[in-house]
């Protein structure tokens, strides 16, 4: 009898344990499965080199990360760790540095400039989702940025469902063009000669020689990751013929503005713009600061049913059509 009671008790407790376990598993299964944080080894090299900056083949004595203007897009997920190394080869003439706006770390130690022939490494966790600027901070910083040492880092939200899924994504980085790369005073005086998207004058303007375009299909949600490198001018980013369905300040899904015509992105800042293209046609994306648009900062989003998939940052580096 006692044996039976004990068995019954054990049976009941096993049963309770099993049902509790089942309940717990059910809860776990119903929760979104968290993405495992990753570690990324990101290595860049400071490259002082000539870069083509317009469709006519005009060259510019740029300073770059990895020989690209802008530098490569870094893409991680919220919570990921980035082990970063910058190499400044002995063949360079200038000190260079790296400053990631996505990081929250001591700037004196990590963002210091290293001489040619040296390298620097640091680690950070991308704690906040969004779109962030990165740039060289070696003095004079205004010149290192003007000459092309910058790029974008996208920190995707841990939970992809916090915002609508984009059908197509592009990165655009705005910057000013100062014709004489050695005239630092012109940079301080804001005497720029053009404004570029992704290191080119009218780079995505199909009516300009050598110009390209950004493709989309009607009805698609196109997400533009927009960074303003400056070094000095504000961008007033506007889609001609459209309205931004959403603007996410600093690219953070929590900072969601709706139905925006024009949104100001200051130097060293960024925002993510969604446009659902209503119909086929051409939609020039411009800075509505017109001296900038009319001197290079126009990227035409061409919507047609035959649009092909495209890279995040098309035409970097610029490939000129064969003559």
Residues near Cu ion (CB under 5 A): 96, 136, 138, 144, 149
User: CB 48 → Cu ion: shortest distance, Å?
Assistant: 9
Residue with tokens 């997920």: 77
Question: Measured from the CB of residue 89, what is the shortest distance to Cu ion in angstroms?
Answer: 13
Q: What is the DSSP string of 290-323?
A: HHHHTTT-EEEEEE-TTPPP--SSTTSS--PPP-
Read off the tokens for 306: 């035959």
Residues 6+ away with beta carbon under 8 Å from 55: 200, 201, 202, 203, 208, 209, 210, 211, 318, 320
Residue 34, Cβ density class (10 Å: 0-12 exposed, 13-18 middle, ≥19 buried): exposed
Residue 46 CB, shortest distance to Cu ion, in Å, is: 6
Which CB sits closer to Cu ion, 96 or 203? 96
265 touches 195 (CB < 8 A): no
CB closer to Cu ion out of 71 and 157: 71
Measured from the CB atom, is 37 or 114 closer to Cu ion?
114
Closer of 96 and 213 to Cu ion (Cβ): 96
H helices of 166-309, where?
Answer: 184-188, 290-293
Q: Could you give the angle at the alpha carbon of 225 between the alpha carbons of 73 and 173, nearest 5°?
A: 65
**Nearest residue (CB) to Cu ion, 146 versus 149:** 149
Cβ nearer to Cu ion, comparing 45 with 81: 45
The residue whose Cβ lies closest to Cu ion is: 136
Residue that has been written with the tokens 């051409």 in this structure: 282
Rounded least distance, CB 136 to Cu ion, Å: 3
Distance CA 199, CA 11 (A): 72
d(CA 214, CA 43): 28
Q: In whole angstroms, how close is the CB of 273 to Cu ion at the nearest point?
A: 28
What is Dmax (Cα atoms) for the chain? Answer: 99
Least distance CB 92 / Cu ion (angstroms): 9
What's the min distance (Å) between Cβ of 83 and Cu ion? 21
Closest CB to Cu ion among residues 39, 66 = 66
């Amino acid at each position: 009898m006692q044996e039976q009671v004990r068995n019954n008790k054990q049976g009941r407790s096993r049963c309770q344990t099993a049902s509790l376990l089942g309940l717990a598993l059910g809860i776990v299964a119903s929760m979104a499965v968290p993405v495992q944080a990753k570690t990324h080894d990101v290595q860049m090299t400071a490259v002082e080199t000539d870069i083509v900056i317009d469709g006519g083949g005009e060259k510019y004595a740029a300073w770059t990360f990895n020989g690209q203007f802008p530098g490569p897009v870094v893409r991680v997920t919220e919570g990921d760790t980035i082990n970063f190394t910058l190499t400044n080869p002995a063949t360079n003439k200038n000190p260079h540095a790296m400053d990631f706006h996505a990081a929250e770390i001591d700037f004196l130690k990590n963002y210091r400039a290293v001489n040619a022939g040296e390298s620097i490494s640091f680690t950070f966790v991308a704690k906040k989702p969004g779109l962030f600027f990165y740039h060289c901070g070696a003095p004079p910083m205004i010149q290192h940025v003007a000459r092309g040492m910058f790029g974008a880092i996208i920190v995707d939200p841990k939970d992809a469902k916090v915002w609508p899924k984009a059908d197509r994504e592009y990165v655009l980085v705005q910057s000013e063009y100062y014709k004489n790369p050695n005239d630092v005073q012109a940079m301080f005086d804001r005497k720029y000669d053009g404004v570029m998207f992704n290191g080119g004058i009218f780079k995505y303007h199909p009516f300009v020689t050598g110009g390209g375009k950004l493709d989309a299909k009607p009805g698609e949600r196109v997400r533009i990751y927009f960074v303003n490198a400056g070094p000095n001018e504000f961008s007033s980013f506007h889609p001609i013929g459209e309205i931004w369905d959403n603007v996410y300040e600093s690219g953070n899904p929590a900072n969601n503005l709706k139905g925006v015509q024009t949104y100001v992105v200051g130097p060293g800042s960024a925002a993510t713009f969604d446009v659902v293209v209503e119909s086929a046609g051409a939609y020039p994306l411009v800075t509505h600061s017109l001296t900038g648009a009319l001197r290079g900062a126009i990227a035409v989003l061409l919507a047609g049913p035959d649009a092909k998939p495209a890279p995040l940052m098309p035409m970097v580096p610029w490939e000129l059509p064969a003559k």
